[in-house]
Amino acid sequence: MMKVMPIEAQIKPFIFLILLISLLSLNIIYSKANENIGNKREIRCFKGMLISFMIYCLVDLRLLIGERFYSIFPKLFVLFVVSIGFAAMSCACFFWFLYVYSDLHIAQKSSLKNKINIWGIIIHIPVLIDLFILFTPMYVFVYEIKDGVAYFKPLINLILIIDYIYLIAATGISIFNKKRAKTKSEKKKYNSQILFILFFTVSGFLIGFLMNLPAIELCVIPVVLKIFVELQDSQIYTDALTKLYNRRRMTEFINDGISTCSKEDPLTIIMIDMDYFKSINDILGHDEGDKALIYFSKSLGHMLLNKSAVAARWGGDEFVVCGKEKELSEKFRQWLQEELETNNELSYVPQFSSGFYKCTSPNKTSEQVLVYADAALYKDKEERHKIPNNFVSKLIAIKNGTVSL
């Protein structure tokens, strides 16, 4: 008969397996996290969180040695490893906050840039306090290594409080973002973010009972995987160049809106076309055409930030806006024109035509309402091209150097 190994002898290989799988999983996710699945700020914060968790996993390799870790290695090395463990978890909480905050940060108006810089300093202060305490002689108020045993002191509560400041703040931002979310996919994303604090709380609770097991890794890996999958899923609905929703997502949004529309609560669909876009490409080049599309999209998205409507790139230089915002059809041109003229990044103000349709019956289809809006767009474009315009002449002047780009 095969002799069963004592449970104590099985624990260490089990710990090693958990840590190995965690490190491999985090490393694979890190290698796949790039700007194809999110904006630069999001990916930078997400990677920072992954690195923090990987460092924590490496620190937890001490569990393979057990309590002897505190006595067989030089004291300075042991102190450094323990401090690194606490610091890694604090940094993970900090980067999670930055990841969630990145959504809120994007929504800030350009006039608040100076305030954002000050706020950027303020949000770093808690984690810097943690690092200062852990890597200076003040660590003795957090923990102490005595007779080969680690003893924790009252100041450890300050470290935990600071970690939870970031987690609670991130949860608050997620709740706020969920309330202003305009689509089901956005709400789902923020629901997952809200649950993140629960996983940290559970892992902290487990550590109290499983001091010598990698409890945090068991809780963190599923959360990180879920965030990564949602980042990937979000790109299915995003236009690669403009970062607006794409045609597929807008069609779904229109269908959802039609199903709940009525005479009292109509759904407005607006089709927009950039005028003279071919001239921009032909005269100034396709790179400038891309810049124009990006700026136009940014202006369109910013204009709708606080409005009950969403925008998508339909294809080429065509865009669609859909929503139940009051006065959307009447004020759309004025709102967008003002946005395009504010903080203009180009040497010209992009021109556009638009056509709208108000749907009041749930019996319509997305194809029908888009045909109506497209017909209105065609009429507007026809009328606008009858008006004398020096836009093309200005493009030629820019190319010839008469007007500097």
Q: Around Cβ 53, how many Cβ atoms within 10 Å?
A: 27
Please indicate, yes or no, if residue 307 is contained in any of the structural domains: yes
Maximum CA pair distance of the chain? 96
Tokens of 393: 């002449």
State the DSSP string of 26-82. HHHHHHH-STTSS-HHHHHHHHHHHHHHHHHHHHGGGGGTGGGHHHHS-HHHHHHHH
Assess contact for 179 and 106: CB atoms under 8 A.
no
Residue 227 shares a structural domain with residue 360: no
Angle formed at CA 263 by CA 258 and CA 267, multiple of 5 degrees: 35
Please indicate, yes or no, if residue 2 is contained in any of the structural domains: no
Please indicate, yes or no, if residue 404 is contained in any of the structural domains: no
Residue 40 shares a structural domain with residue 165: yes
Backbone dihedral region of 276: left (phi > 0), alpha (psi from -120 to 50 degrees) or beta? left
Residue 217 shares a structural domain with residue 263: no
Q: Can you give the CATH number for the domain in which 391 is found?
A: 3.30.70.270
pLDDT reported for residue 209: 60
Please indicate, yes or no, if residue 336 is contained in any of the structural domains: yes
Please indicate, yes or no, if residue 21 is contained in any of the structural domains: yes
pLDDT reported for residue 36: 64
Please indicate, yes or no, if residue 242 is contained in any of the structural domains: no
pLDDT reported for residue 106: 46
* Residues 37, 43: Cα–Cα separation, whole Å: 8
Q: Tell me which long-range contacts 13-17 makes (C-beta under 8 A, separation of at least 24).
A: 15/60, 15/63, 15/64, 15/213, 15/214, 16/64
What residue type is assigned to position 123 of the chain?
Answer: I
Please indicate, yes or no, if residue 405 is contained in any of the structural domains: no
Residue 112 is classified by DSSP as: G
Question: Exposed/middle/buried for 100, CB within 10 Å: 0-12, 13-18, 19+?
Answer: buried
Tokens of 185: 């996919």
Domain encompassing residue 115: 7-236
Domain boundary among 190, 205, 236: 236
Please indicate, yes or no, if residue 1 is contained in any of the structural domains: no
Residue 207 shares a structural domain with residue 268: no
Assess contact for 193 and 159: CB atoms under 8 A.
no
Residue 64 shares a structural domain with residue 197: yes
Residue 22 shares a structural domain with residue 169: yes
* Residues 224, 363: Cα–Cα separation, whole Å: 42
Closest listed residue to residue 266, CA positions, set 191, 330, 198: 330
Residue 210 shares a structural domain with residue 356: no
Residue 276 shares a structural domain with residue 206: no
pLDDT in tens, the chain (405 residues): 455 555 566 778 888 998 999 999 999 999 988 766 666 788 889 999 999 999 999 999 998 888 888 888 998 999 999 999 999 999 999 999 999 888 774 444 444 444 456 877 889 999 999 999 999 999 999 998 887 778 889 899 999 899 999 999 999 999 988 887 777 777 777 887 888 787 777 776 666 566 667 878 877 888 888 888 877 777 778 887 888 989 988 998 899 899 989 999 999 999 999 999 999 999 999 999 999 999 999 999 989 988 889 999 998 999 999 999 888 989 999 999 999 998 788 889 999 999 999 999 999 999 999 999 999 999 999 888 777 778 888 888 888 876 544
3-state secondary structure of 91: helix
pLDDT reported for residue 105: 45
pLDDT reported for residue 237: 81
Residue 281 shares a structural domain with residue 348: yes
Residue 170 shares a structural domain with residue 285: no
User: Radius of gyration (Cα) for the chain, nearest Å?
Assistant: 27
Which residues share a beta bridge with 311?
321
Residue 103 shares a structural domain with residue 222: yes
Q: Can you give the CATH number for the domain in which 130 is found?
A: 1.20.1070
What residue type is assigned to position 294 of the chain?
Answer: I
Please name the residue that has the structure tokens 């980042």: 231
Domain boundary among 236, 270, 293: 236
* Residues 82, 62: Cα–Cα separation, whole Å: 10
Tokens of 249: 């997502």
3-state secondary structure of 273: strand
The helix (run of H) or strand (run of E) holding residue 311 is strand 309-315
Instruction: Report the number of distinct structural domains present in the chain.
Output: 2
Alpha-helical runs (H) found in 211-327: 215-236, 247-259, 277-284, 286-303
* Residues 183, 103: Cα–Cα separation, whole Å: 15
Residue 88 shares a structural domain with residue 208: yes
